[in-house]
Structures are given as structure tokens and as C-alpha cells.
Chains A and B, each alone.
Chain A
Amino acid sequence: MSNLVEIRDLHFSYGDRPILANLSMDFPRGKLIAVMGGSGSGKTTVLRLIGGQLRPQRGTVTVAGENVHALDTENLYRVRRKMGMLFQFGALFTDLTVFENVAFPLREHTNLPEELIRDLVLMRLNAVGLRNAHALKTGEISGGMARRVALARAVALDPELIMFDEPFAGLDPISMGVTANLIRNLNDALGSTSILVSHDVSETFGIADYVYFMSGGQVVASGTPEELRRSSHPYVKQFVNAEPDGPVPFHYPGKSLAEDLGFGGAR
């Protein structure tokens, strides 16, 4: 099976602070691939690099065979038309209604008549359960609803690649389950490739075909959810079982508490 997205030997840093080092990943067509890891592990940065919002210091990201960072603005926008992205907090346009938000990419990139746009938007909103909320302003809907509207907007143009940045963050259990099923169903119905960035183990393992675990800007483990549940890798074990002790320290590195309180001694 060919890969829609390939990342090779990627290095990225913010100034002197390295974020990603020597990163390589494959995202096969039609699959739902999760990228998991703790806060600050570089997951969202990977999405921004795939979308061409950030430029790496070294390495390549190819989407549908095109090196994203070698493209000029016009061609980058052409490649982005094949992508849909769900931002962590939805990033809905606050001056537009729910309907207008979902219609936005259709109006910008197609010459479809308004009646057809209306039908397409209502179908997308129906898929996320918000058809009857189409006239509401974004300020009148909850965070979970906003995420679902953003999801409808992200798939408005039937993208080949859909990227989800922490779609489960801050959702109640019902919304979380609904969103997880939506992501899986949309991926299968549209025949898209999905990249899901999350640190929610149960929901992600429930829908992903393959999972990459990242730590310190590198892939430390990867496999199917079943393989990872059985994994003896210390990082995966700590993450999957939510253990406080392990390779990921709870405390930010630095002086010990005893030193800070003036008692001396080791940490």
C-alpha cells in the first residue's frame, strides 16, 4: 500500500530549542494513524510541518508525492486543498454562523450554486449531528459542538488527508465517544487518510489502525493498538497504564525540593 504522507529524517527546532530530531514516519493511504505522546513531545509540530505551516531545518515531508517544503505558496495552497485540519479548539470563524463556517471552504474553492452549497453543508452538519444548529452563531454553541462543526468544515471538500489535533481534549465522555466514532466513520466513508494527534489512550486505541508514540521529538515505539497494549517498552507501558513513575518524569528537571527548601541533600 502506498503512503500518502512520508516524513524522512526530519529535524525541527524553535531557535536553539530542538523539538524534532531525525524523525521518520509513514502514513499509508486509507488508514487512520495516531500520533501519541506526552505534552511537548512534538505531536502538534508534526501536523504543522505536514501542513507546511512550519519549515524544518532538515529532512523532507512529502504529501501525495510532493515535497511540501519545496513548494512555492501557490503550489502549497494547491496541495493544501487536498487536506483538512481540525484544530485543537476548532478555530471557527467567530463572526460567522455554524452554516457559514462549514460553507466557507466550499464558497472559497468552488463555483457551486448556493442551493447545492446549502445541501452539502446540511449533509455535513447532519453527519456530525448539528444540522438543526446551522443558524446558531459560534458563540452560542458548546466546546464539543464547536469541535464537531470544525470537523464538518474540515471534511467539507472531501479531503484526501484529514489531520486532527487533540480532538478529544476537554470533551465530556459522551462527546468524546461520538467524536471518536465520527473520525473513524468519516475516514472510512470518504476513503481519506487520517492523522490523529492525541494523548487519550482509550479513544485513540479504539479507532486507530496504527499508532506512533513520540517522546523528546522522536518516535520511541510504534505498532497496532493491540501490539502496543502488550508492549514491554517502558515509555509505552507508563503512558498506556498512566503510571506516575517511568521514563517520563513528573517533575520538570532541575534542583531537588530539599535544595530549594535549603535542606541540601540529593533529590
Chain B
Amino acid sequence: MIGFVGAIGGFILDVLARMGVVSRSFLRLVGRLPGALRRPALISEQIHFTGNFSLLIIIVSGLFVGMVLALQGYYTLSQFGAEEKLGQLVALSLLRELGPVVTALLFAGRAGTSLTAEIGLMKAGEQLAAMEMMAVNPIQRVLAPRFWAGLIAMPVLATVFSAIGVIGGYLVGVQLIGVDEGAFWSQMQGNIDVRRDVLNGVLKSFIFGTAVTFTALFQGYEAQPTPEGVSRATTRTVVISSLMVLGLDFILTALMFNK
């Protein structure tokens, strides 16, 4: 019994210690963000790497998600004779939920894993240690520009996802099924609130971008400097980022859309 209680106590202490390490690392990274702004070229290079290279998967996924939403939405709405609400349904679903969440999950899989592997391999190859010995802070030189890039790229990608999703919904709903085009767009325009729906969605994607990018960078920086260690860190990035995005989405949705 004493051993069992001791094991639980040890586990709680480990969790608290881990949370302390993560919090301290986050604050150290945030403390280096202003300094990284002095090198905008490094940030734009990383935006290209994390954002531009994720664009194709975001566009294709957004298109299909919008098309599926229109199919499923039409099936449900038609049972109530409310097919003209299809545009509103597609846009609200994308802007509030699917845009930020699916983009964050895709971003974790595409850019997050890439960031973790890159940082982990730099650590394994002693590149980060070499940088430190050259009196260059790797948190400011390597991690901070990548963090900025994640913060900037995620809302843009989520917006692109939602916009393409709406086009996908239009193609299926209006062009394929035959919902009235005027009703599709006017219902969307009349029932979408910029601050409540659009900006909250952008805010969500910004928060998801922060969580996913930090997780990816932290896992890479803390990875065991071995092939197996980098592989495990990459897996952890996907698992932890995905769970964080879904958990944060529930909390943010409850706070933003609680009426």
C-alpha cells in the first residue's frame, strides 16, 4: 500500500517537474521572440518553409472538407426544407471549427514533424552545441524564427482552408446539387458575423499555431540525440499536438460561443 501511494506521489512529482520544464522552456522562447524580429529574413525563410510547403495539403483538404460538408449538410437540411441555409452551414462550420482544427492537425503532421526532426537532427549532429560554442544562442537563432513563422503561417493557412472549403461547398451545393446560388451566398453573408465568427476562428488558429509550433520545437530541442530519439520525438509531436488542439478547441469553443 505504501509502495502504491509512493508510486502515485512519484508520478505526480514527475508530472509537476515536467510541467515546470515545459513552462520554463516556453518562457525562455517567448523572451527571445523580440530579438528574433531584428532578423526578418530568417522569419520569412521559415514562413516559406512551414507555410508555403503546407499550402498544397491545406488547399486539397479544404476543398474536400467543404465538398463533404455540402453533401452531408444538404442531406440534413433538405429534411427540414432548409436547403437555402447550406451556405451558412458550410461557412460557419469551416470558420468556427473545421478550418482552425483541421488546419492545425494537418499543420502538426506536415510542418510540426518536419520542425521536430530538423531540430532533433541538428542536436544529434552537435550543430546546436556548435552554435552555442560560437556564442550564438540557438533559441534565438534557430527556434524563435521558426516559432514566429508558425504563429504567422497557421492563421493564414486556416483562412485559406476555410476559403477553399467554402468554394468546395459551393461547387457541390450549387453546381452539383442545384441549391439556389443567391440563397447560398446571401444566407452566408447575412448570418456570418465578422467578429464573432471570423475573428474568433482566426484567434483559434493563432492559439493552435502557438501550441503546435511550440510542441514541435520543444520536442526537437529535448529529443535524445539519436536516430531512435528523434523518431520518438517526432511521434510525440503529432500525438501531443493533436490532443492539445482538440482539448484547446473544446475550451475555446466553450468560451467563445457559449450563448
Contacts and interface: CB of A to CB of B under 8 A. Distances in A.
A94 B125 contact: yes
B5 interface: no
A104 B125 contact: no
A78 interface: yes
B257 to A, nearest CB: 43
B126 interface: yes
A53 B125 contact: no
Nearest to A105: B134
A228 to B, nearest CB: 29
A108 B127 contact: no
B135 A77 contact: yes
B130 A109 contact: no
B137 interface: yes
B50 to A, nearest CB: 14
Contacts, number: 46
Contact of B130 (A78, A81, A87): A87
A214 interface: no
A87 B126 contact: yes
Interface size class of A (residues with CB under 8 A): 20 to 34
Interface string B123-145: 00111011011111100010000
Sort chain B's interface into a size bin.
10 to 19
A184 interface: no
B35 to A, nearest CB: 12
B126 A104 contact: no
A173 B126 CA distance: 25
A258 interface: no
Q: Is the interface of B mostly helix, strand, loop or mixed?
A: helix
A108 B129 contact: no
- Which of A73, A91, A93, A105 gathers most chain B CB within 10 Å? A91
Contact of A87 (B122, B129, B137, B141): B129
A89 B121 CA distance: 14
A85 B127 CA distance: 12
A109 B135 contact: yes
Nearest to B118: A95
Contacts of A73: 137
B133 A83 contact: yes
Contacts of A131: none
A85 B132 CA distance: 10
A89 B134 contact: no
Contacts of B127: 91-94
B252 to A, nearest CB: 35
A225 interface: no
Given A89-B126, A91-B127, A94-B125, A104 B133 contact: no
15 contacts: A53-B129, A78-B135, A80-B134, A80-B135, A83-B133, A85-B130, A87-B130, A89-B125, A89-B126, A91-B130, A104-B134, A105-B134, A105-B136, A108-B135, A109-B135
Closest 9 CB pairs of A and B: A91-B130, A91-B126, A77-B135, A80-B135, A85-B133, A81-B135, A105-B134, A108-B136, A87-B126
Interface of B: 121-122, 125-127, 129-130, 132-137, 141
Interface of A: 51, 53, 73, 77-78, 80-81, 83, 85, 87-89, 91-94, 104-105, 108-109
